[in-house]
Amino acid sequence: MDKPMKTISPRWSYFLLGLSAVSIIVSLFMVFVVVPTEATMGIIQRIFYYHVPVAWVAFLAFFVVFVASIMYLWKRSRMWDIIAHAAAEIGVIFTTLVLITGSIWAKPIWGVWWTWDARLTASLVLWLIYISYLIVRSFIAEEERAARFAAVVGIIGFVDVPIVALAIVLWGTQHPNPVIFEGGLAPTMLATLLTSLLAITSVFFLLLLQRISLRQDELRINELKRYLD
């Protein structure tokens, strides 16, 4: 493996921190003040404005793992492995949030916290796949070997992402139809969703840059320790 790439400029982190803070504040105001209460589901529907963006970011994180894993196996560059590992950790967190917010939304609407709906089941499988990715990295002592095995899991595991996304179309699940693409959202609702999407996506990239930076620091410290020993 080669040495880590040069540390990412902190200016990007400052920019993303500011964008995240502003967009989160604006999205909270829009969700709880501006957007109207949905006529059928009532106030619980407001969780939609965070449940959907969190799901989008989980998919985005695993797409980053997928691409970075391919690049690592091709180039054998340590930086690609660092990116894949960081994105997988963040993706697991956001998939956990998807499952939690979905359960909170399901209870008053479906009457249960969980049902073995096709999309829910596929989402749980996705979570387990990337938990496995992290376990592989933890239990294989040799770093390069762990990176290779994890890259394979990251690539194969991404197959479940389109299954989750298309579950409604393929199996007609309990989830509602994708009203976003059918023009079923009022302008204020759509604007609120897009603002929340910007907020959560900017948080993802901020976390990704910070985790990459931390991992680079860890590698430098380990190399320094080996040198001193």
**pLDDT reported for residue 39:** 80
How far apart CA 31 and CA 17 sit, in angstroms, is 21
For 108-124, write each residue's pLDDT tens digit.
888 888 888 888 899 99
For residue 38, what are the β-bridge partners?
Answer: 42
pLDDT at 1 over 50: no
Highest-confidence range of 15-24, 138-147, 183-192, by mean pLDDT? Answer: 15-24
**pLDDT reported for residue 183:** 57
pLDDT at 201 over 60: yes
How far apart CA 97 and CA 86 sit, in angstroms, is 17
Phi, psi of 175 (to 5 degrees): -60, 145
Q: What mean pLDDT is predicted for residues 82-110? A: 94
**pLDDT reported for residue 172:** 66
Answer whether 13's CB lies under 8 Å from 210's CB: yes
The model's pTM is: 0.90
Domain ranges of the chain: 11-228
In words, the CATH class of domain 11-228 is mainly alpha
**pLDDT reported for residue 96:** 97
Q: Model confidence at 33, in pLDDT bands (50, 70, 90)? A: very high
Tokens of 41: 């589901």
Highest-confidence range of 66-70, 214-218, 220-224, by mean pLDDT? Answer: 66-70
Q: Is 38 exposed, middle or buried (0-12, 13-18, 19+ CB in 10 A)?
A: middle
In the chain, % of residues over pLDDT 90: 60
Cβ neighbours, 10 Å, residue 27: 23
In the chain, % of residues over pLDDT 70: 90
For 153-198, write each residue's pLDDT tens digit.
999 999 999 998 887 777 666 666 665 655 567 889 899 999 999 9
